[in-house]
Structure formats: C-alpha cells, structure tokens
C-alpha cells in the first residue's frame, strides 16, 4: 500500500482534508433547495463507501510496504473491526446532527461551533492516546481555536434572527453534534497499527480502517437517519418512498459528490496520521471550520443582515483560527 513518511507531505494531505471537510456541506446546501437533508444523506453515505473502496483498491493495493487491502481485511481481528465500525456509528450520529443544524442555522454557525468543538475534544483525546507533538504548542493552538468558536457564537448573536427558536435549536444541535464528533476519530485510530509499514497482526491499516468505518456509517443510517426522517427537528416527516419519488439524477449526484469529497478528506487524514500523529492530523483537518465559515460568510452571505461592525469580529475569528492551526502544525516540528 501507499504510505506517507514525509511530514510536509502529510501536512499537505491534512490541508486537503481541511478543504474537503469544510466544503462538502456546500452540496447539502445545493440539494436542500429541492429536497430534504435526510434524503440527501443517503446518497452522501453511499459516496463515502464508494471513495473508500476505490482508494482501497488503488492506493491501498499498490506499493511495497505494509499489507494490501484484501490481505489486511482477511487478517483483521474482530476487536479492530468493531472499533472502526463504532467510529462510523458515532460519526454518523454526530454528523446527522450537524447537517440538521446546517439546514436550520446555516454553515457559518453550525460548522464553526460543531466542528470547532470536535477539534478541541478530538485533539485532546487523540493526543492522550498517542502523544506526538509539543503539548504546549498544541494546547495554545487549540485554545485559540476555542476562542474563535466563542467569537463565532457572539457574532451569531448579532444576527436579527438569532433569537428565533429554530435558530437556537440549530445552535444546540451543533453543540451536541460537535461533542460527539470529538470522539469518533479515536475509535478509528484505535483500530489501526501504529506502524503502517510493518503493521502488527490483527490490526487494520489506513485504507481498510476507513472502508470499515464507512460501512459502520452506512449501516447506522438505518437507525439514525430513519429516526430524523420520521422525527425531524424541523418540518414535516420524510418517508423512504420520497427518496425514489422526489429524487432525480442531479440530486443523487450532488449527494454522492458530497460523500466523495468528505471521504477523500477522511482517507487523507488517516493516511497522513502515520507521519503527523493522530492529534495533529485530526486537528489540522478540522480546520474545516475556517473553510466552512468562509463559504458561509462570503459565498452564501449568511451574515449579510448582521449589524454594522460585525466585519471586524469576523476578521478576528478567522485570524484566531489561522494562528491556532499554524501552531497545531508547528507542534510536530518542535
């Protein structure tokens, strides 16, 4: 399989992860104009399975180091498989809550709050399990990101609609989803061998771990997504039949594309973790908050009705994110 040993290359892959994780939700915004996010989400989850399998059959099956994709699957112990599956199940619940929050409150609010919380929790849990990088620099970087999250909430409160019950609900969903999302990565990381080139027996390598993770995500859809279909946080309930009645080739493509984009980010993050460490790989990838906030502020114009003076707070928020992420990257170099 293909293994990344260079830290600069790993950082580039994590930046790609950041862009992918911060951009996939644009497809959900596009699809929401014509159908509900619960229906979009089925195609999204299929897209993640497709890209994880494609990468497993290509990058995961070539190269002279490690174990090939199918060989790795065949020798995996149930404990490792279970851990990766749980990672997919936990992520799916968290992500559905955040997608619902995007649908209610918009990207500029749901992403910085939800994914920002996930960054803080995820970096801490992954560093404790696998301490790679300078803890002080990592801690300061995470603190700055946390301050950016708080600032985003302050900016949100300046919006005329911030007192609306539905918008408050979206903010609450973002917080709950973010807390849950802070833990999913650790389950996936725990399923893998630390040495990708010479993996220990029974453990998974990156490509198989992401594939099994995607299976857990898709299967749990029949629980989590069915729940929000028939008990939605807003609007009327959605039926399975609506997926076939209301869907068309364009809508299905948009959903699958969203899954492909997110899946590339997840795969690159896991592959890069060998050289960067799980905490840094996850933390840098979750800089997606900054990318999503950019989309929400400048493309979707979600703060266009904010009062005068909001721009300086938005600029400060982005500054804190950028400095915080830079420190997270530099923590591996000290």
**Per-residue DSSP letters for 162-197?**
TTSHHHHHHHHHHHHHHHHHHHHHHHHHHTB-S-SS
What are the tens digits of pLDDT across the range 75-119? 999 999 999 999 999 999 999 998 888 778 766 667 777 877 888
Q: Give the model's pLDDT for residue 163.
A: 54
Q: Give the model's pLDDT for residue 107.
A: 64
- Reading the block at residue 296, the tokens are 């929400």
CA distance 279 to 263: 19
- 110 in Cβ contact with 102 (< 8 Å): yes
Q: Give the model's pLDDT for residue 327.
A: 92
CA distance 294 to 22: 9
CA distance 326 to 334: 13
Describe the crossing of helices 249-276 and 7-23 by its angle, rounded to 10 degrees. Answer: 150
DSSP SS3 for 313 = helix
Q: Give the model's pLDDT for residue 306.
A: 77
Which parts of the chain sit beneath pLDDT 50? none
Q: Give the model's pLDDT for residue 261.
A: 97
Q: Give the model's pLDDT for residue 161.
A: 58
CA distance 203 to 276: 19
CA distance 48 to 54: 10
């Amino acid at each position: 399989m293909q293994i990344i040993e260079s830290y600069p290359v790993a950082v580039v892959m994590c930046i790609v992860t950041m862009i992918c994780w911060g951009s996939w939700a644009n497809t959900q915004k596009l699809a929401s104009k014509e159908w509900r996010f619960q229906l979009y989400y089925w195609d999204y989850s299929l897209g993640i399975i497709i890209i994880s399998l494609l990468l497993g059959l290509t990058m995961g099956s070539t190269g002279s180091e490690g174990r090939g994709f199918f060989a790795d699957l065949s020798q995996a112990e149930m404990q490792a498989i279970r851990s990766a599956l749980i990672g997919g199940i936990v992520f799916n619940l968290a992500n559905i809550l955040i997608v619902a929050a995007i649908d209610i409150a918009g990207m500029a609010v749901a992403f910085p709050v939800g994914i920002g919380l996930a960054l803080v929790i995820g970096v801490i849990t992954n560093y404790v399990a696998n301490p790679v990088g300078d803890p002080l620099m990592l801690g300061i970087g995470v603190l700055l990101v946390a301050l950016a999250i708080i600032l985003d909430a302050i900016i949100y409160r300046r919006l005329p609609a911030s007192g609306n019950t539905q918008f408050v609900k979206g903010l609450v969903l973002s917080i709950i989803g973010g807390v849950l999302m802070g833990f999913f990565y650790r389950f996936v990381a725990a399923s893998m061998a630390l040495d990708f080139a010479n993996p220990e027996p029974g453990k998974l390598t990156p490509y198989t771990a992401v594939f099994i993770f995607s299976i857990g995500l898709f299967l749990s859809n029949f629980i989590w997504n069915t729940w929000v279909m028939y008990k939605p946080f807003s609007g009327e309930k959605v039926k399975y039949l609506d997926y076939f009645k209301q869907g068309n080739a364009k809508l299905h493509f948009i959903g699958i594309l969203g899954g492909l984009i997110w899946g590339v980010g997840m795969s690159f993050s896991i592959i890069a973790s060998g050289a960067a460490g799980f905490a840094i790989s996850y933390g840098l990838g979750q800089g997606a908050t900054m990318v999503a906030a950019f989309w929400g502020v400048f493309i979707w114009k979600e703060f266009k009705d904010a009062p005068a003076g909001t721009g300086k707070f938005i600029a400060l928020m982005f500054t804190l994110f950028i400095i915080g992420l830079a420190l997270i990257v530099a923590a591996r170099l000290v």
